[in-house]
Amino acid sequence: MDYRLRIGDEVWYCRADSGEENAVRITMKDHVVNVRYSMVSEHQIHLMVDGTATSAFITGGEDEKMVVIEGVPYPVQNEDILTQAASKRKGPRAVPQQVTPPMPSVVVRIMVSPGDLVRKGDGVVVVMAMKMESTLTAPHDGRVRNINAAVGDKVMPGQILVDIEKEEGAATGDSGEKAVP
Amino acid sequence: MFRKILVANRGEIARRVINTCREMGIATVVVYSVADREAVHVLKADQAIFLGNSEPSESYLNIEKIIAAAKETGAEAIHPGYGFLAESPEFAERCEDEGITFIGPPSRVIRELGDKTVARRTVSQGGVPVIPGMDRAESDPVLLERESARIGYPVLIKAAAGGGGKGMRVVTRPEDFHEAALSASSEAKSAFGNGAIYLERYLARPRHVEFQIVADRFGNAVHLFERECSIQRRHQKIIEETPSPAMTPKLRERMGEAAIAVAAASGYVNAGTVEFLLDAEGNFYFLEVNTRLQVEHPVTEMTTGVDIVRLQLEIAAGERLRLRQKHLRQRGHAIECRIYAEDPEKGFYPSPGKIVYLEEPSGAGIRNDSGIYAGYTVPVEYDPILSKLIVHAEDRDAAITRMIRALREYVILGVRTPIPFLIEVLQSAPFRAGETFTDFIDAHFSNWQPDRKDSDLARIAFIIDEIARQKRPLAVAAREEGYPTPWQTLGNRWR
């Protein structure tokens, strides 16, 4: 199997050739390593890489996994799957196009009212998670159509708190930037 | 001794108090909110009373509901933990009025020490050095400017009603004072509704050194030595240790005596912490008293062998302090690291979520005061502390290497933690040299990113996990069939 794996800004081509049971030969860039392994549990892999033992702890799916080795987390992404998913959305990597919290939060303040004109980057809602406030901003210029949350509401990522509709005749946007009715 | 107490807190500290109660044969009642139905304190206590919605005002800060829970369950005393109602004089007073023992100082002491300028007056009358500055807040700009000249530059402007750095300014030159005072006062007014400010001498690069004190109601008081807590982010401690690398026996004696003098001057009863700032010349200044059990109390317990919660319970039950200062010793070195659900790569931003896998370090000299378990969802409603990892070893170097070993073994999957950050701080040359000042993180670790030297292994792990995932359905099928047990393979022959 071939993989294109991203850690941070680096994308590496990797090839895996399975050998005998619980052994695999992995080619990364220009070097080859022989790995023996055992799946200790769903989240723990014991690795022997060219004779040196390590435990890696792992969670996540085929597109993205978090690997923890000696206390250090390595977010590893499968670039091929991410690119496929992105091309289905007919665009490059997804950037937030909606006013939605990055994590489960509580709404602290709503800074706009229906009918307000906002510019890209204007603060629209302040949410709080774990005693820290953060301001969600308008993803594009437009007019506030609906406010779908009230102060004190518990809100989840993906939940759209404020609908901002692009003004008629405003800059032409692509399909990804339409306000959700 | 009490037969039953109520713990008015949550998470790791509630569990910490419950542990000692179980060892002493005291039954425990906890209280909880909607978000905490499956929290560790609820699972560990003998009884759990539901308070209501997750907002602190509906639950852990709701005095009426907590008092009612204590009465309903027949709890004789309330331990407030830290945070929430731990330093509320109203709550302590209400307990006193209701005939429930508050496990902490009397409400009068909490009130007096809670007011910063009153505390400064009380303490300096007791002969303890305070940071040179004003004893009263002021709003007259002419008077403030005169005071600033008396105190000397650099000067620190603080809001009387302040907190969280609001209304705080460092002024290095007299010509900037007027403007800084105006803006600090208006910031304080908009934040706290009170524009009164006061001035203190500004200390550059101080250390934060605090003393644990314990006093009974018969006038006996001892200190359990110091803790150094200079490694802070957002004015919140993340690494604490004892002994302080800056301490000498002579200085320890002087600061310890000052801490006891603070206890005497304020009429202190129960366990508390006297905080000082220590400058490079060995001058120390009173900062404030925390009238509660401190988050970092375990490092003191490790080096003195004393259970501070047990002392709190004994003193609250009216017993005499049996410890004598001359018998107390510090043995070895202890370090605590606070493990929060937060992302050190993104400015320590909170990282709530479900803990999908947990492996805790163990071995000689390791203590983990934890409020989590595998499968637990860290709620967004409260302070994101998960646990406190504490190590004890013969000396500071051994404690540092033991802590690094323990942190590397501590696996928490599902939320981000400061573990990789803490490892690098402990490995760093300035930490090893004991050069721990309150500006440590800004000076050495601003915009920190982890050293990802094992990226090769991480890619290998990714690939193996993919290979294993594709095989997994087969593996599950094999397990369902089951392995033959000795009972099957031995048949009847063993009879």
pLDDT digits (tens, 9 = 90+) for B257-284: 999 999 999 999 999 999 999 998 899 9
The DSSP line for B386-426 is EEEEEEEESSHHHHHHHHHHHHHH-EEESS--SHHHHHHHH
Q: Which of B382, B457, B467, B472 to mutate to test the interface with A (most CBs of A within 10 A)?
A: B457
Q: For residue B96, give how far its alpha carbon lies from the nearest alpha carbon of chain A (Å).
A: 31
Q: Which of B120, B292, B367, B396 is an active site residue?
A: B292
Q: Is the CB of B414 less than 8 angstroms away from the CB of A18?
A: no
Mean pLDDT of A125-138: 82
Task: Note whether B43 and B379 are within 8 A (CB).
Answer: no
A37 touching chain B per CB within 8 A: yes
Q: What percent of chain B is modeled with pLDDT above 90?
A: 75
CATH of domain B132-201: 3.30.1490.20
- Statement: residue B475 has pLDDT above 60: no
Say whether B300 sits in a helix, a strand or coil. helix
- Statement: residue A178 has pLDDT above 60: no
In angstroms, how far apart are the furthest CA atoms of chain B?
A: 101
User: Please, which pLDDT band fits residue A127 given cuts at 50, 70 and 90?
Assistant: confident
Query: What stretch of H or E contains B42?
Result: helix B40-44
CB contacts of A62 in chain B (<8 Å) are 466, 469
Cβ within 8 Å of B, A 102-161: 103-106, 129-132, 134, 154
- Statement: residue B34 has pLDDT above 90: yes
pLDDT digits (tens, 9 = 90+) for B321-351: 999 999 999 999 999 999 999 999 988 988 9
Q: Is the CB of A129 less than 8 angstroms away from the CB of B450?
A: no
Between residues A95 and B419, the one the model is more confident about: B419
Specify the pLDDT at position A44. Answer: 97
Task: Note whether B87 and B95 are within 8 A (CB).
Answer: no
- What Rg value do the Cα atoms of chain A yield, rounded? 22
Specify the pLDDT at position B328. Answer: 97
Specify the pLDDT at position A61. Answer: 92
pLDDT digits (tens, 9 = 90+) for B99-119: 999 999 999 999 999 887 788
Q: Considering the entire predicted model, what is its pTM?
A: 0.83
Query: Which structure tokens are listed for A43?
Result: 């989240």
From residue A153, alpha-carbon distances to A108, A109, A127 in Å are 8, 10, 10
Specify the pLDDT at position A88. Answer: 65
CATH of domain B4-103: 3.40.50.20
Specify the pLDDT at position B164. Answer: 58
Q: Rounded mean pLDDT of chain B?
A: 92
Q: Is the CB of A59 less than 8 angstroms away from the CB of B357?
A: yes
**Using CA atoms, how far apart are residues B467 and B462, in angstroms rounded to an integer?**
9
Task: Determine the residue of chain A that is closest to B456 in CA distance.
Answer: A28
Specify the pLDDT at position A170. Answer: 46
Cβ neighbourhood burial of B335 (10 Å; 0-12, 13-18, 19+): buried
Say whether A164 sits in a helix, a strand or coil. strand
What number of other Cβ atoms are within 10 A of residue B230's Cβ? 26
pLDDT digits (tens, 9 = 90+) for A69-105: 999 999 999 998 888 777 665 544 444 578 888 778 8
At how many degrees (to 10) do helices B11-24 and B308-316 cross?
70
Q: Is the CB of A131 less than 8 angstroms away from the CB of B410?
A: no
Task: Note whether B4 and B27 are within 8 A (CB).
Answer: yes
Closest by CA position to B386, among listed B8, B6, B13: B13
pLDDT digits (tens, 9 = 90+) for B288-302: 999 999 999 999 999
Mean pLDDT of A125-130: 84
- Statement: residue B476 has pLDDT above 80: no
Between residues B474 and A141, the one the model is more confident about: A141
Mean pLDDT of B50-63: 95
Q: Nearest by CB to B465, which of A33, A58, A69? A: A58
A62 touching chain B per CB within 8 A: yes
Enumerate domains of chain A plus CATH numbers. 2-88 (3.30.700.30), 105-166 (2.40.50.100)
Say whether B257 sits in a helix, a strand or coil. helix
pLDDT digits (tens, 9 = 90+) for B143-198: 899 999 999 899 999 887 666 567 788 999 999 999 999 888 888 887 777 888 88
- Statement: residue B471 has pLDDT above 80: no
Q: For residue B384, give how far its alpha carbon lies from the nearest alpha carbon of chain A (Å).
A: 6
Query: What is the torsion angle, in degrees rounded to the nearest 10, for the CA atoms of residue B353, residue B355, residue B361 and residue B365?
Result: 50
Show Cβ contacts of residue B452 under 8 Å, excluding neighbours closer than 6 positions. A7, A8, A72, A74, B458
Q: For residue A142, give how far its alpha carbon lies from the nearest alpha carbon of chain B (Å).
A: 29
- Statement: residue A35 has pLDDT above 70: yes
Any idea which fold B207-444 has?
D-amino Acid Aminotransferase; Chain A, domain 1 (3.30.470)
Q: Is the CB of B352 less than 8 angstroms away from the CB of A3?
A: no
Question: For this structure, is B292 an active site residue?
Answer: yes
Query: Which structure tokens are listed for B335?
Result: 């370090």
- Region(s) of chain B under CATH 3.30.470.20: 207-444
Say whether B51 sits in a helix, a strand or coil. strand
- What Rg value do the Cα atoms of chain B yield, rounded? 25
